[in-house]
Amino acid sequence: KNQVEQSPQSLIILEGKNCTLQCNYTVSPFSNLRWYKQDTGRGPVSLTIMTFSENTKSNGRYTATLDADTKQSSLHITASQLSDSASYICVVSAGSGTASKLTFGTGTRLQVTL
């Protein structure tokens, strides 16, 4: 059964600090992995997408890594801001074409405080 597990479930950090969120998956056959940011009361918005051959991808202060061998991904946030407070969801795509299926993690809830 395809599964995506994220850790920690929740995290509180001070503004300006860095943090790393983890995503472990057992999805086959792997197609790609996405990180989404979901603000409270809003829909998820894509941050990055990574395919099998990509190890690192950055989007501003967000850097995602992928280790396809260990089936792990991380999302690193540098110099956190209050606006980074949100849930971060890891989504792994399995298969290709019309058989492509998405498996969602339950997310990490990040709170950035003063």
Partner 1 sequence: DAGVIQSPRHEVTEMGQEVTLRCKPISGHDYLFWYRQTMMRGLELLIYFNNNVPIDDSGMPEDRFSAKMPNASFSTLKIQPSEPRDSAVYFCASRKQVIGELFFGEGSRLTVL
Binding footprint of partner 1 on the chain (CB under 8 A): 31-32, 34, 41-46, 49, 89, 93, 96-98, 100, 102, 104-107
DSSP the chain: --EEEEE-SEEEEETT--EEEEEEEE-SSEEEEEEEEE-TTS--EEEEEEETT--EEEETTEEEEEETTTTEEEEEE-S--GGG-EEEEEEEEESSGGG-EEEE---EEEEEE-
Q: Which is nearer to partner 1, 1 or 114 (CB)?
A: 1
| Closest CB 43 distance from partner 1, rounded Å | 3
Is the Cβ of residue 48 or residue 65 nearer to partner 1 in the bound state? 48
